[in-house]
Amino acid sequence: MILKRARPIVLAGLVLLGATVMLSWTQQWFTIVLNEGSRVAVLGSDASRSLAALALAIFAMVAALSLSSIIVRRLLGVLAAVVGGIIVAVAQSALADPLRASQALITDATGISGSESVRALVDAVEISPWPVPAIIAGALIVVLGLFATLSAHRWPVATKKYDRATTVVADDPASQWDAQSRGIDPTADPMA
């Protein structure tokens, strides 16, 4: 039953999850408390700069999935799963080492550079819950990408309504006029 509704589930799910990644990217992920008491707010766009591009790639894949053939759908499903895995890796990397992800902002705020020097300036790191939705959304994108790959053959195919006919119609003049109005050359040899 769920395979019959695979297409809308995959397309709507990918749009929703891509939007979740984009929303998470715009929110504050960390607050760095420096030794002198000042605070540096770190957004997801600063900690994980590539998340926006990855979310946009998911949106582009939604458009391509809705218009593509079975083989291309399967390839795009695998590609969506890979992009979802990259989203998880990027967000987890920032969450695993917030100071490395925030180093450029700390340097801008203090004028001190260098990994060890910046770490010496930091008194505490407060982590917000906003990296978690990006990680969960990335994991669910992996699942939906694999689901798209496995269910691609159940999706409806594009209609042939507007495809050109390639065979010459009957020899009567009315059929030849109809063929010309459809863009077919009735004098062309069908074997050529």
CA distances from 151 to 43, 62, 80, 147, 155 (A): 37, 15, 14, 6, 7
pTM, rounded to two decimals: 0.77
84 and 178 in a single domain? The answer is no
Question: How does pLDDT run along the chain (192 residues), one tens digit per residue?
Answer: 566 688 888 899 999 999 999 999 999 999 989 888 889 899 999 999 999 999 999 999 999 988 888 898 899 999 999 999 999 999 999 999 998 888 888 888 888 888 888 888 888 889 999 999 999 999 999 999 999 999 887 777 665 555 555 454 456 667 777 777 777 776 666 555
Q: What is the tally of structural domains in the chain?
A: 2
pLDDT reported for residue 182: 74
114 and 175 in a single domain? The answer is no
Domain ranges, residue 71: 2-158
94 and 174 in a single domain? The answer is no
38 and 82 in a single domain? The answer is yes
50 and 78 in a single domain? The answer is yes
Do residues 153 and 72 touch, judged by C-beta distance below 8 A? no
Separation CA 83–CA 93 (nearest Å):
15
Amino acid at 159: T
